[in-house]
Amino acid sequence: MTGPLTAPAAADGALLRVEGLVKHYGGARHGFATPPAIQAVGGVDFTLKAGETLGLVGESGCGKSTTGRCIIGLERPTAGRVVFDGQDVATASPRQLKAIRRDMQYVFQDPYSSLNPLMTVFSTLAEPLYLSGMRRNDIRDRVAELMRLVGLAPEHGNRFPHEFSGGQRQRIGIARALALNPKLLILDEPVSALDVSIQAQVINLLEDLQDQFGLAYLFIAHDLSVISHICDRVAVMYLGRIVEVGTREEIFERALHPYTQALLSAVPIDDPDLRGKTQRIVLSGDLPSPARPPSGCRFHTRCWKAQANCKQTPPTLARMHSQSQLVACHYPEERPLVATIQA
Amino acid sequence: MAPHRGAPLLSVEGLVTEFRSADGIVHAVDEVSYQLWPGETLAVVGESGSGKSVTAMSILGLIPQPPGRIAAGRVLFEGRDLLTLSRREMRAVRGKSIAMIFQDPMTSLNPVLTVGFQIAEAMLAHGGVGRREAHERAIALLQTTGVPNASERYHQFPHQYSGGMRQRALIAMAIANRPRLVIADEPTTALDVTIQAQVFEALKLAQAETEAAMILITHDLGLVAELADRVVVMYGGRVVETADVRTLFHAPRHPYTVGLLKSLPRIHGRAGRLTPIPGAPPSLIRLPSGCAFHPRCFQSQGREPCRMTRPGLREIEVQHNSACHFAEELAVSNREGAPA
Amino acid sequence: MTIEPTAATLIAEREGLNVKPRSQWQLFIKRFLRHRVAMVSLVILIAIVLAALNAERLTPYPFDGMNLKDSNLAPTVEGGHFFGTDKLGRDYFTRVVYGTRTTIFVAIVVALISTLFGTLVGAVAGYAGGWIDNALMRFTDLVIILPGLALLMIMIAFLGEGSPLQVALILSSLLWTLIARIVRAQFLSLRRREFVEAAILAGASPWRVIWRHMLPNALGPIIVNATLTISTAILIESALSFIGFGVKPPTPALGQLISAGRGSMSTQWWLVTFPGLMIITICLTINFIGDGLRDALDARQAQRS
């Protein structure tokens, strides 16, 4: 196997660069009425370096999965660029897409629906190899290698997906994504459908694979503890926009955006001794509809700090303290949530 | 914290619930016993297939028969065995003295009736209030659980509510008749984190208002740490450990509980590599012999008692029970590598 | 509260009722074999089909062999005229058996052609989506709203010399629409399934995705509806024959036999009764088999989710 670490990267060292990504659904005339378009992603920028893990975190409807799907070309972006390894995914031809997807693969959330129930594990893993033109004997060896790599016995290749547990099925999904030695895996909620005791197994496997092959991960999840465990950098999304990006320490210890702070404080803390000792921010109201996002800062309808200008001017992602932390808020400010806990 | 004095409100004794399936008998609940005292919050923790939900369904008489069957046991609630009640008597208990909150609020709300009407109806059905009073109390309940503009929301239909608001409406409905016991089955699992926080608050307020005891069925240990007084840990349809919440988190005495706590990624303070429990949860049709957890257990390491003898739940310390042959050894190893 | 059993069942399933399912198709076949009514129907239907296929061996008479001195005989064991004879003295048992053969032939050809064509249209529409889907589905709607029976009569009157194959082709041209819509719906939902997207990401061509991943997973509903199309085709063919637009004499078909016998129903009851009973039996058994297949399939789907 060739190490993908030697990949030629873009000038600034970014393997993946997302610029002004916008994705709207619908909005086309439907009979007589024209419903407003769902603005799933409303202008997202970020970069991802080779070998790095970037977490994309947010609640349902924030556009994190749509972002991932646009990056790999399962959806056509409405606007913006997705540059992977120097190639624009959004304008790639089907043939170019096929080539790009040798280096960029996807792991799906639901281990039950991500495997064809009528195909054996062997056929499932052999498919990408066969389609890439590999010879029959080599396929046999590579499938066995892939199965061992994710901790499955190669003898079980002739079994059907339903004969495996959820965790094992997710391993199969990971093996399929690894088949062609990609440089980047987009992991869309890869452990959220799994039982607690199994989650840790899969997270460890992902970490091992990253160490072994120098993979980059775009890790999409809503579970902050999983994100905090596995990610080098974290981007927090709210209603189709990134509100804050930073290293793990910056996001989890020195968050500046009120939404990030609310998200962190909402996570139940698994230590009964700290019960009642942390200040929980309970946001009022529900998520606004992505069909009619609020004007100005999209978070202003639920923000306790919102001022008049928050309703009018959308804040841009601006650099804070360090080179790495960016926040899109007119009134960024640290809030000592974590300090209380550590005390 | 609730004192364990006096008679328990609910006492589950040796409950066995089975399901027939094409592949054999599914032993969903296997000799489960636990008690609940008035006003207490008891968390029943376990992964899918641990039997935690089926136990609650059995208590409520909601096991579909067939294919289900309650093969043995008693469920004493305020001195009466719920398993011997007629369907009609059971209905009177459900919704009046015992209320329930399910994971998916949409299955519990009638889509063609307004939310307010359904709450008022719950009160009228169990008597004691007039129509006008029911109406007013329903609005007050919606307010208590944090539904904004309650008097307008009263007249809206479930589909006009967001997921978090539906769950709050369901909590309002559950406490409408001032139940003595609320059973909440994964009440926040389907919700987003910030909405979960709202629903917790609603649950706490609802419990404070009615002083009801609560059984909280969940797989989320964070939720347990935040809400529970005592915890029952289930594995493979059996109870493996019961303790008060602090003891459970700081000095667990069952290898499964220890493994579960160690395998959790933590949001504050990264612990390096996670320590997963090896293997997968057992099949409820063919449970491992002896202790159901022994094939995955770091403590057992294939020792004979674990493979041969099913361990009973026994008191290790005061109010702390474990179903492990070697629970005493864990007291030592805890101090070395305890989580938290 | 009517919702309780649902919630309870859901939880029961979540708690491990489907711990060890076997292969999807095995389960499907096992459930079907356990469906008693469907199995009895299947046995009866197989007997009828075997009889129709072996008509020559079953009866000594040719289907158009006239014998005017034995005309209008009531059912009798004498001469083996179990179903009697018609006014030309043709053995009516022979007529009914051959008529059954014609009718079943027409029905099976209709089911095959309309299933193949309908599946093709539905699969392309459901996979491609967008304007292709729109165009194909508007065309399907158009065929559905056409006044079917009248159109069939016109087509047969103008095009047909009334051979069984021709009748079958004309019937198929209208009966593919139901299957097209069912397959389209299946494909629309399969298109969103993650394993289909994974195949696309692996570099599979559209045809490969349709053929290897989507079609096999849509086969259940297609089979059920093909089965039900057989009975629909029998009923329509009989109706057409009855009003004189079906298979032309002297080739017997069941509807045509009823039509010929209806004038003398009061005196020669057997002329209408036996072909009528045959139509009812065939259609009932096919519908029961269809129900059995559908139940088996539903169980399979319940297990999967």
Interface check B68 vs C, CB under 8 A: yes
Neighbouring chains to B with at least 3 Cβ pairs closer than 8 Å = A, C
The reply to whether C18 falls in a domain is no
Per CATH, the number for B8-94+229-266+274-340 is 3.40.50.300
**C109 vs C101: CA distance, rounded Å:** 12
For the cut 50, the answer to whether the pLDDT of residue B1 exceeds it is no
Q: Which residue of A has its CA nearest to C197?
A: A74
Chain A environment of B42 (Cβ under 8 Å): none
For the cut 80, the answer to whether the pLDDT of residue B23 exceeds it is no
Chain C environment of A187 (Cβ under 8 Å): none
Give, in order, the Cα–Cα distances in Å from A289 to each of A37, A239, A244, A282, A304. Answer: 11, 8, 21, 20, 19
Size of interface A-C (CB pairs under 8 A): 61
Question: What is the pLDDT at residue A122?
Answer: 93
Alpha helices in chain C (DSSP H): 4-12, 24-34, 36-53, 55-58, 92-128, 130-145, 148-159, 164-191, 194-201, 206-208, 215-242, 254-261, 270-304
Pick among C2, C17, C18 to test the B interface (most B CBs inside 10 A): C17
Q: Would you call C198 and A106 a contact, using CB atoms and an 8 Å cutoff?
A: yes
C-alpha distance from A325 to closest chain C C-alpha (Å): 33
CATH code for position C141: 1.10.3720.10
What digits encode the pLDDT tens for the residues B156-167?
888 888 878 888
Interface check B81 vs A, CB under 8 A: no
Q: Would you call A268 and B276 a contact, using CB atoms and an 8 Å cutoff?
A: no
In this complex, the residue of B47, B194, B219 whose CB is nearest that of residue A263 is B194
In this complex, the residue of C6, C12, C20 whose CB is nearest that of residue B23 is C20
Question: What is the pLDDT at residue A32?
Answer: 61
Interface check C19 vs A, CB under 8 A: no
Per-position pLDDT tens, chain A of length 343: 333 433 444 446 789 999 999 999 876 655 566 677 888 898 899 999 999 999 999 988 889 999 999 999 998 899 999 999 988 988 888 889 999 999 999 999 888 889 998 888 999 999 999 999 999 999 999 999 999 999 999 988 888 888 888 889 999 999 999 999 999 999 999 998 888 888 999 999 999 999 999 999 999 999 898 999 999 999 999 999 999 999 998 899 888 999 999 988 888 888 888 877 777 787 877 778 888 889 889 999 988 888 889 999 999 888 877 778 899 999 888 876 544 444 3
Question: What is the pLDDT at residue A115?
Answer: 93
Yes or no: say if B53 and B217 are a contact pair by the CB < 8 Å rule: yes
For the cut 80, the answer to whether the pLDDT of residue C106 exceeds it is yes
What digits encode the pLDDT tens for the residues A216-258?
999 999 989 899 999 999 999 999 999 999 999 889 988 899 9
Select the more confidently predicted residue: A55 or C266.
Answer: A55
Residue B42 confidence class, pLDDT cut points 50, 70, 90: very high
The reply to whether C99 falls in a domain is yes
C-alpha distance from A253 to closest chain C C-alpha (Å): 36
Question: What is the pLDDT at residue A138?
Answer: 93
Chain A environment of C22 (Cβ under 8 Å): 162
In this complex, the residue of C22, C203, C212 whose CB is nearest that of residue A101 is C203
What tokens were used for C104? 């079943």
Pick among B21, B88, B173 to test the C interface (most C CBs inside 10 A): B21
Q: Which helix (H) or strand (E) holds A80?
A: strand A79-84
Other C-beta atoms lying within 10 Å of the C-beta of residue A75: 18
Interface check B19 vs C, CB under 8 A: yes
C-alpha distance from A234 to closest chain B C-alpha (Å): 13
What tokens were used for B93? 């208990």
Question: What is the pLDDT at residue C197?
Answer: 93
For the cut 60, the answer to whether the pLDDT of residue B2 exceeds it is no
C-alpha distance from A123 to closest chain B C-alpha (Å): 24
Question: What is the pLDDT at residue C96?
Answer: 83
Chain C environment of A25 (Cβ under 8 Å): none
Neighbouring chains to A with at least 3 Cβ pairs closer than 8 Å = B, C
**Which of B124-128, B296-300, C83-87 shows the lowest mean pLDDT across its residues?**
C83-87
C-alpha distance from B62 to closest chain C C-alpha (Å): 6
Range of the domain at C204: 23-304
Q: Which of A175, A186, A180, A132 is nearest to A15 (CA)?
A: A186
Q: Is B335 exposed, middle or buried (0-12, 13-18, 19+ CB in 10 A)?
A: exposed
Residue B265 confidence class, pLDDT cut points 50, 70, 90: confident
Interface check B273 vs A, CB under 8 A: yes
**C274 vs C271: CA distance, rounded Å:** 6
What digits encode the pLDDT tens for the residues B172-224?
888 888 888 999 988 887 778 888 888 888 888 888 888 889 999 998 888 89
| Whole-number average pLDDT of chain C | 79
To 10 degrees, the CA torsion angle through B81, B83, B87, B88?
A: 10
Q: Would you call B107 and C7 a contact, using CB atoms and an 8 Å cutoff?
A: yes
Question: What is the pLDDT at residue C253?
Answer: 80
Question: What is the pLDDT at residue B62?
Answer: 85
Question: What is the pLDDT at residue A69?
Answer: 93
Q: Is C219 exposed, middle or buried (0-12, 13-18, 19+ CB in 10 A)?
A: middle
Q: Would you call A266 and B197 a contact, using CB atoms and an 8 Å cutoff?
A: yes
**C178 vs C119: CA distance, rounded Å:** 10
Yes or no: say if B270 and B249 are a contact pair by the CB < 8 Å rule: no
Q: Which residue of B has its CA nearest to A253?
A: B268
Size of interface B-C (CB pairs under 8 A): 68
Give the rounded percent of residues in chain B with a pLDDT score beyond 70.
94
Residue C298 confidence class, pLDDT cut points 50, 70, 90: low
Complete DSSP assignment for A293-322:
PPSSSTTGGG-TT--HHHHHSPPP-EE-SS
Question: What is the pLDDT at residue A12?
Answer: 61
Interface check B249 vs A, CB under 8 A: yes
**C221 vs C285: CA distance, rounded Å:** 18
Interface check B162 vs A, CB under 8 A: yes
**C197 vs C209: CA distance, rounded Å:** 9
Question: What is the pLDDT at residue B4?
Answer: 56
Number of residues in chain C? 305
Mean pLDDT of C173-201: 91
Question: What is the pLDDT at residue C303?
Answer: 42
Yes or no: say if A212 and A45 are a contact pair by the CB < 8 Å rule: no
Question: What is the pLDDT at residue B305?
Answer: 86
Q: Which residue of B has its CA nearest to A164?
A: B280
C-alpha distance from A215 to closest chain B C-alpha (Å): 18
C-alpha distance from B91 to closest chain A C-alpha (Å): 34
In this complex, the residue of C12, C16, C18 whose CB is nearest that of residue B68 is C12
The reply to whether C124 falls in a domain is yes
> Is the preceding omega at residue B64 within 30 degrees of 0, hence cis?
no
What digits encode the pLDDT tens for the residues A34-84?
677 888 898 899 999 999 999 999 988 889 999 999 999 998 899 999 999
Interface check C4 vs A, CB under 8 A: no
Question: What is the pLDDT at residue C264?
Answer: 76
Chain A environment of B198 (Cβ under 8 Å): 282-283
Q: Which residue of C has its CA nearest to B54?
A: C12
Q: Which residue of C has its CA nearest to A124?
A: C199
Other C-beta atoms lying within 10 Å of the C-beta of residue A324: 13
For the cut 60, the answer to whether the pLDDT of residue C219 exceeds it is yes
Other C-beta atoms lying within 10 Å of the C-beta of residue A163: 16
Select the more confidently predicted residue: C160 or B137.
Answer: B137
C-alpha distance from A266 to closest chain B C-alpha (Å): 5
* Tally of domains within chain C: 1
Give, in order, the Cα–Cα distances in Å from C32 to each of A57, A117, B19. Answer: 46, 20, 22
Backbone angles phi, psi at A22, to 5 degrees: -130, 135
Q: Would you call B107 and C11 a contact, using CB atoms and an 8 Å cutoff?
A: no
C-alpha distance from A105 to closest chain C C-alpha (Å): 7
Bridge-based pairing of strands B213-218 and B181-185 is parallel
Interface check C200 vs A, CB under 8 A: yes
For the cut 80, the answer to whether the pLDDT of residue C88 exceeds it is no
Question: What is the pLDDT at residue B89?
Answer: 87
Q: Which residue of A has its CA nearest to B49?
A: A195
Interface check B73 vs A, CB under 8 A: no
Question: What is the pLDDT at residue C160?
Answer: 65
Pick among C14, C19, C27, C32 to test the B interface (most B CBs inside 10 A): C19
